[in-house]
């Protein structure tokens, strides 16, 4: 069912981040820092999540591992948009939340910051590793954000800097 590599459970180095879907039936671990951690204001993220913007993180494929089962795909549904055949998104069969996606072109997995493990007070664990460093696709924002992070038209350093 999946041709995504490096997603077999327990086959990787010690995780530095962990996360799960809403119900917890599906979980993953990450063994290397993010290549990118950003607030994304693109219209795809907005429409796929019905959300003004999301916290996305990209990881090298070798850093991502499913943790919930010996046959992870049994608990997951996958989706591929015809106009983006290189990108496969994975959704928990029980609660329906989208938990990760794999991009064949870049050989990266993406997850969302809000699905990372939490501390007892509800804050995200290991925030220093996970926290966004930038706002991207800010040109299509539906909400102005006044924080200290850079705001880019598209990807950081590959598009116009807006502020």
Residue ranges binding Zn ion (CB under 5 A): 21, 23, 25, 40, 42, 45, 92, 94-95
Among residues 13 and 35, whose Cβ is nearest to Zn ion?
35
Query: Do 136 and 39 form a contact (C-beta atoms < 8 A)?
Result: yes
Least CB distance to Zn ion at residue 30 (A): 18
Least CB distance to Zn ion at residue 38 (A): 9
Among residues 4 and 42, whose Cβ is nearest to Zn ion?
42
As a whole number of angstroms, the distance between CA 107 and CA 20 comes to 21
Least CB distance to Zn ion at residue 13 (A): 25
Among residues 23 and 35, whose Cβ is nearest to Zn ion?
23
* Residues 6+ positions from 103 with CB-CB distance below 8 Å: 86, 87, 109, 110
Least CB distance to Zn ion at residue 25 (A): 4
Among residues 64 and 90, whose Cβ is nearest to Zn ion?
90
């Amino acid at each position: 069912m999946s041709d995504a590599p490096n997603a077999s459970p327990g086959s990787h180095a010690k995780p530095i981040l962990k996360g799960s879907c809403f119900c917890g039936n599906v979980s993953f671990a990450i063994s290397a820092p993010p290549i990118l951690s950003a607030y994304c204001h693109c219209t795809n993220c907005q429409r796929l999540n019905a959300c003004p913007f999301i916290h996305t993180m990209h990881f090298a494929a070798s850093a991502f591992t499913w943790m919930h089962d010996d046959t992870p795909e049994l608990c997951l549904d996958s989706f591929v948009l015809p106009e983006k055949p290189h990108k496969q998104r994975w959704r928990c069969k029980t609660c329906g939340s989208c938990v990760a996606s794999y991009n064949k072109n870049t050989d990266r997995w993406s997850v969302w910051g809000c699905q990372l493990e939490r501390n007892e007070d509800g804050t995200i664990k290991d925030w220093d590793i996970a926290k966004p460093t930038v706002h991207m696709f800010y040109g299509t924002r539906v909400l102005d954000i006044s924080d200290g992070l850079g705001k880019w038209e598209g990807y950081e350093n590959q598009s116009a800097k807006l502020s």
